[in-house]
Structure 1
Amino acid sequence: MTPAHQLCTVPSIVSAVKSFIPPLTTDKYKGQAGRIAVIGGSKEYTGAPYFAAISALKVGADLSHVFCASEASVVIKSYSPELIVHPLLEQMCLNVSRVIEKARSMKIPMVIDADGVHLLTIEPDIIKNYERAILTPNAVEFSRLYQSVLGKDPNCGVDTVAASVSELSRAMGNVTVVRKGAVDIISDGHHVMQCDGQGSLRRCGGQGDLLSGSMGSFLHWSSMAVENDTQEPTLRKHGAGACAAYAACLLTRECNRLAFRDHGRSMTCSDMIVAIHRAMVALYEEGSEES
């Protein structure tokens, strides 16, 4: 077992990812490659749930649902006919708490990002000890969550960012934590790894939504592989959450690199989404190697 304080890059994760991505065959029916639900969307914020939901589809999920406030539904639906939009959620925070509790009871894997992470700084117990969850805070969100759960600043008493990520994961009952940054740090409290694949200097809005949406698809696939006991050794060692998180972090960085190469300073998240297919082929198609 990798010591919790030891930070490492794990290239073998790429082989694990290749092993759990479902092959395209003639004997499958719609839904087997994943039905992803995205919770979010208000009158002011319609782009984030769209970017997450369409990214889940572009990575390879079969169906992508968005559950949002009614005032956001028409706008989100207008972005793409591919998405199934449900205008059901008002009082978003209250509903999200209930959704998390229901998903836990049904043992559904979940990725919690953005306002969901903020909710956990107020109610961390709703996700504690649920090892099928991945949290994706940025540096500021991570600091706030760490202070809420551990009652101290993440820079106090730990040697590195990696150590603080591992410490937070253990304090939350080994929930997988992805601290996004120049290097993405991933820990389930047992192991710590970094994803430092090449991206670009451009930081466009929506990049985190691409990450969380694609992570949802990867997490579904990795969880199914674990449940079916078909996982290869690296997946068995690091677990479904950490492997899915690494896969999505690396993919997002490759999308960023490819889109920046094509568009430079004018790159937007939509350009990154267009690059998902090329990134998937470069990283995870049979015979490909990590960039």
Structure 2
Amino acid sequence: MEVSRPDIISTLMPIPRQIFDQIKQLIPPLDGSLHKGQSGRVGVLGGALDYTGAPFFAAMSALRLGADLSHVICSPTAASAIKSYSPDLIVHPILTENSSPEGELKSLFNRLHVLIIGPGLGREPYMQRFASIALSVAKSKNMFLVLDADALFLLTQDPSLIKGYERAIVTPNVAEFKRLSESLGVDIKDKDSAIRVSEALGGVTVLQKGKEDVIATHTESENNVMNVDVEGGLKRCGGQGDILSGTVGTFMAWGKCLEDGAFGAGQIPPSKMPFLSAIGASMVTRKASRRAFYKEGRSVVTQDMLPEIGKAFAEVFGEDAEGQDRGKL
């Protein structure tokens, strides 16, 4: 059965205007005032022998949303495949089984605004060890962090790795949220379970994926919770979570650029940036999924979402995707 195409300008979930305006402040201006790198430098740590698509989708979705540079830090067994998928990605095959890449990671992280850990990481002990090392190095540099997929498995083994680090976001799906909640002693039947997980993690922002995405941040002074019910596609296929981790990472990278004074007036406190980034990324990713589904229907694959990310961003935030000067050419 052919899938009917919806009106492109569809109704968005009524995110409070104040929140929506704050998210827009994270977005770099598209006016030629910034040089290369000031719209975000994103790193993805993952990619083992059996998993090359996941880090590609995370890193490429970051570029498609508008990051300037996207790095993949992976095993040599995954590097050739990832390089072949796109020449736009910078690939670092430094995660070898018998190596200790802490020095290389420290040097590389100096070039990044955010680190995404987990897409294609796998559960081999040496890859899990590298993820733990990367977490420690990134925290020492006060980096923004996104933890997804098998990085969440790592946290279920040792939540203290991220506990209290408020510049981080975790992005669990249904199964991952259940495992993480159980490891933290949180009842998943609690209607406020997302905020309870954030509290148990000491203020880490939780993006709980589902029919509606729930974004929750618990701090000593306040709780922030937002449901995002922007309509997504009607088919879930492997890899869409990697798209989300890449878009979350890009919003966080933009937040770091704002924090560093690359653009804007610096009115958004860094403590609020993970919460705002998760909401913005959820809206864009769900919209991209919807657009891809209504083009491809049941046959949709994650690859179909990539060209829709920029259009979804323009649809959500009202930016002319063609650029203001195109009409003058």
Within 5 Å, which residues of 2 pair with 1:1-291? 10-12=15-17, 13-90=19-96, 91-150=126-185, 153-155=187-189, 158=190, 160=191, 163-189=192-218, 190-226=223-259, 228=261, 230=265, 239-286=272-319
Distance (Å, rounded) in 2 between the aligned partners of 1:265 and 1:75: 27
Distance (Å, rounded) in 1 between the aligned partners of 2:201 and 2:235: 33
> Aligned-pair distance for 1:236?
5.1
**Identity across the alignment (%):** 44
Alignment RMSD? 2.0
Structure having the larger proportion of residues in helix: 1
The verdict on how the C-alpha distance between 1:282 and 1:89 changes in structure 2, with shifts beyond 3 A counting, is same
SS of residue paired to 2:31? coil
> Aligned-pair distance for 1:154?
2.2
Distance (Å, rounded) in 1 between the aligned partners of 2:146 and 2:43: 10
> Aligned-pair distance for 1:148?
0.9
| Larger RCO, structure (CA 8 Å, separation 6 or more) | 1
Could you list the runs of 5+ residues in structure 1 that have no partner in the other structure? 1-7
TM-score, length basis structure 2: 0.79
Distance (Å, rounded) in 2 between the aligned partners of 1:133 and 1:260: 30
Q: Deviations over 1:219-265 (max 9, x none)?
A: 11124435658355xx5598100110011111111001111111111
SS of residue paired to 1:241? helix
Distance (Å, rounded) in 1 between the aligned partners of 2:82 and 2:187: 38
State the AA in 2 paired with 1:154: I
CA contact (8 A) 2:165 2:204 kept: yes
SS of residue paired to 1:56? helix
State the AA in 1 paired with 2:199: R
CA contact (8 A) 1:73 1:86 kept: yes
Q: Deviations over 1:10-59 (max 9, x none)?
A: 34233222222101233322111111110001111100000000000111
SS of residue paired to 2:143? coil
The verdict on how the C-alpha distance between 1:125 and 1:237 changes in structure 2, with shifts beyond 3 A counting, is closer
SS of residue paired to 1:21? coil
Distance (Å, rounded) in 2 between the aligned partners of 1:114 and 1:261: 27
Could you list the runs of 5+ residues in structure 2 that have no partner in the other structure? 1-12, 97-125, 322-329
Distance (Å, rounded) in 2 between the aligned partners of 1:246 and 1:84: 27
CA contact (8 A) 1:204 1:269 kept: yes
SS of residue paired to 2:156? helix
State the AA in 2 paired with 1:137: P
CA contact (8 A) 1:117 1:145 kept: yes
CA contact (8 A) 2:259 2:270 kept: no
SS of residue paired to 2:28? coil
CA contact (8 A) 1:20 1:231 kept: no
Distance (Å, rounded) in 2 between the aligned partners of 1:107 and 1:238: 12
TM-score, length basis structure 1: 0.88
Q: Deviations over 1:84-107 (max 9, x none)?
A: 111111321101101001100100
Distance (Å, rounded) in 1 between the aligned partners of 2:208 and 2:256: 21
Distance (Å, rounded) in 2 between the aligned partners of 1:106 and 1:283: 33
